[in-house]
């Protein structure tokens, strides 16, 4: 696609871009990543007009290229387990402690009711890829700026029986709904890497 659109010849009009950059995956990732950020931040991209590149078309190409980097090169279905084992172990630890201490009235800082973590596309993307590998629930093709992942643990009591379930959201998409916690935990642990 990059060759079909003749982007390489057009991009060579920019002084810092070299022909060998188009054969270097990391350079291409950098070009596409920076272009996406500049496009989304409404920077002056008139240089692309002068080079004869359709800005929206190149934006869509860059998103596909960078999405491929995140989900199929940086991690894939298998290696996402290596990337996410430690973080997901922490998540399950928080949930286990919340379940263990949920009836306590005093605050218990080892069992918080809410935990926030933040990272970049190279954090959120692998989480999405890992969860998909464990649950087959799908993931976005591209992690937009300020994309979010939510795990929500619920306590329910029905007919005298206690039950804990988990919802999982990628941005506003509910991809796992009311998964029984024991099942959720087992599916996650099945994908963990050992030392």
pLDDT for residue 100? 92
pLDDT means per 10 residues, the chain with 195 residues, are 85 91 90 94 95 95 92 89 95 95 80 88 90 93 83 93 96 95 98 92
Instruction: State how far the Cα of 69 lies from the Cα of 72, in Å rounded to an integer.
Output: 6
Long-range CB contacts (within 8 A, 24+) of 54-58 = 57/5, 58/5, 58/7
Instruction: State how far the Cα of 103 lies from the Cα of 147, in Å rounded to an integer.
Output: 33
pLDDT for residue 6? 86
- pTM, entire model: 0.84
Instruction: State how far the Cα of 167 lies from the Cα of 89, in Å rounded to an integer.
Output: 17
Instruction: State how far the Cα of 5 lies from the Cα of 7, in Å rounded to an integer.
Output: 5
pLDDT for residue 25? 87
The answer to whether 21 touches 27, Cβ cutoff 8 Å, is yes
Beta strands (DSSP E) in the chain are 149-158, 161-170, 173-180
């Amino acid at each position: 696609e990059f060759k079909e659109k003749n982007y390489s010849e057009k991009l060579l009009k920019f002084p810092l871009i070299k022909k060998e950059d188009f054969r270097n995956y990391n350079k291409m990732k950098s070009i596409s990543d920076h272009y996406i950020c500049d496009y989304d931040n409404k920077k002056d991209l008139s240089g692309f007009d002068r080079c004869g590149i359709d800005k929206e078309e190149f934006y869509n190409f860059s998103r596909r290229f960078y999405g491929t980097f995140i989900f199929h090169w940086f991690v894939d279905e298998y290696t996402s387990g290596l990337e996410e084992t430690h973080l997901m172990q922490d998540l399950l630890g928080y949930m286990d402690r919340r379940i263990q201490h949920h009836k306590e009235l005093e605050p218990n800082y080892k069992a918080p009711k809410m935990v926030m973590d933040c990272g970049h596309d190279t954090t959120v993307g692998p989480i999405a890829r890992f969860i998909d590998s464990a649950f087959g629930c799908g993931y976005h093709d591209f992690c937009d700026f300020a994309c979010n992942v939510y795990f929500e643990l619920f306590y329910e009591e029905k007919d005298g029986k206690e039950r804990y379930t988990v919802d999982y959201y990628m941005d506003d998409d509910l991809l796992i709904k009311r998964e029984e916690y024991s099942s959720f935990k087992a599916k996650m642990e099945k994908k963990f890497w050992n030392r």
